[in-house]
Structures are given as structure tokens and as C-alpha cells.
């Protein structure tokens, strides 16, 4: 007969919860939510710099530091970012349950809030200055457009692949909301680990 003063042995369920959920799953959740995670390229909109099935490192902590007021603007022109597609974009679709699904896209930041964007003779002009886009595909065609001003809280994004029909971006669905940006992508992890070209 067990004496009253003896502690009860830990239950297997409590040990499982403490060891696996709190000890392993919680740190992984915090890491992938607030620090960074992996992302895979799907499609050809970012060629020649990124190709389908490549594995990238998505950094989330810059966005959280900015959200918490610990840093200033964390995105710059030329950054490659992953964001949730706008609800009216061709990428979004209705699920079987009537919910509007907005998949994540990867594009390059072309314009920040307040920037004036224009395309003339297939070339990008930003704030009245022609931009030499060293990251863009050598071949392609961009219709004349603008000038247009990027609204507050928005970004103008485009794919690096400028061949006609190869990238659905802000030219088709307009500026994207800064709140929908998951974070910048600075590194390709596989198959050829390397930093991404970020500036023109």
C-alpha cells in the first residue's frame, strides 16, 4: 500500500506532452513563425535567377521586428519577397468550402510606397530615373504603362522573367499589401547555395 507522502509517478501522456510537444514541437513552431522557414520556387516567373523546385530561405524576423516597432522599413527596392497573392489575383481561387484561397507568390520589389513607376519602350523608370535592371531577363517585352504612384502601405512587385505571359504580377493585379508580405528571401539553399541578386 502506497503511503500518502509518496508522489504519484508521471503519466505516459504527461511525459509525452512535456517531451515532444513542449520540448520539440513548440521551439520548431516559434522558429518557423518568427525567425525563418523554407520556401520552394514554383514556376518560371523569376527566371533567370530562380528556377522551379529550387529551395529558398525565407526570413520572417525582419517583418516581426518592423511590426513590433524595433526597426524601420525592412524592405528595399530590388529585394525578392514572398507574399500572399491579392484576393483578386489570377492565383487566388475558391475552395470547396467557399473560402478564397490566396497562395504565396515570389516576386521582386520594384516600387515602395510613394514611388512613381512607369514603363517606356520596354524599360523601367522609377521616380523619373531609368532603372538598369541587372537581374531581369535579357529578352522580353514590357508594355508601356504609367506613370503610377505606389499607394501607402503597398508594394509594386514584378517577376524577373519579362517574357510576355511569363509572370503575373503587379501589372495584372496591382500593388500588393505590405501586410501580406511574409518576408524577404536572401538565400538559395538548393541546388546551388548562393545569395540572391538584390540590387540593380
Kindly state the cell numbers that stand for 75. 524592405
Give the Å distances, CA to CA, from 172 to 5, 89, 145.
72, 8, 12
Given 45, 89, 167, 170, the catalytic residue: 45
Instruction: Give the integer Cα–Cα distance in Å for 63 and 183.
Output: 6
Give the rounded distance of the alpha carbon of 44 from its chain centre.
Answer: 16
End-to-end CA distance of the chain: 79
Q: What DSSP character marks residue 136? A: S
Kindly state the cell numbers that stand for 73. 522599413
Exposure on the CB side of residue 18, measured as CA atoms within 13 A? 6
Instruction: Give the integer Cα–Cα distance in Å for 6 and 138.
Output: 77
Instruction: Give the integer Cα–Cα distance in Å for 124 and 74.
Output: 23
Whether 84 is catalytic: no
Task: Please say whether the beta carbons of 167 and 158 come within 8 A.
Answer: yes
Given 60, 84, 107, 154, the catalytic residue: 107
Whether 60 is catalytic: no
Active-site residue numbers?
Answer: 45, 107
Amino acid at each position: 500500500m502506497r503511503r500518502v507522502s509518496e508522489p504519484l509517478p508521471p503519466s505516459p501522456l504527461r511525459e509525452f506532452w512535456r517531451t515532444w510537444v513542449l520540448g520539440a514541437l513548440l521551439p520548431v513552431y516559434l522558429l518557423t513563425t518568427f525567425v525563418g522557414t523554407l520556401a520552394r520556387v514554383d514556376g518560371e516567373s523569376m527566371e533567370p535567377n530562380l528556377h522551379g523546385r529550387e529551395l529558398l530561405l525565407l526570413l520572417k524576423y525582419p517583418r516581426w521586428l518592423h511590426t513590433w516597432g524595433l526597426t524601420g522599413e525592412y524592405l528595399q527596392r530590388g529585394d525578392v519577397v514572398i507574399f500572399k497573392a491579392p484576393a483578386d489575383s489570377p492565383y487566388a481561387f475558391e475552395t470547396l468550402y467557399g473560402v478564397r484561397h490566396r497562395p504565396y507568390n515570389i516576386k521582386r520589389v520594384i516600387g515602395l510606397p510613394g514611388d512613381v513607376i512607369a514603363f517606356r519602350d520596354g524599360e523601367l523608370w522609377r521616380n523619373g530615373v531609368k532603372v538598369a535592371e541587372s537581374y531581369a531577363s535579357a529578352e522580353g517585352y514590357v508594355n508601356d504603362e504609367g506613370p503610377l504612384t505606389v499607394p501607402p502601405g503597398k508594394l509594386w512587385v514584378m517577376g524577373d522573367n519579362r517574357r510576355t505571359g511569363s509572370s503575373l504580377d503587379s501589372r495584372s493585379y496591382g500593388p500588393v499589401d505590405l501586410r501580406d508580405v511574409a518576408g524577404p528571401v536572401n538565400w538559395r539553399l538548393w541546388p546551388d547555395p548562393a545569395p540572391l541578386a538584390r540590387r540593380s
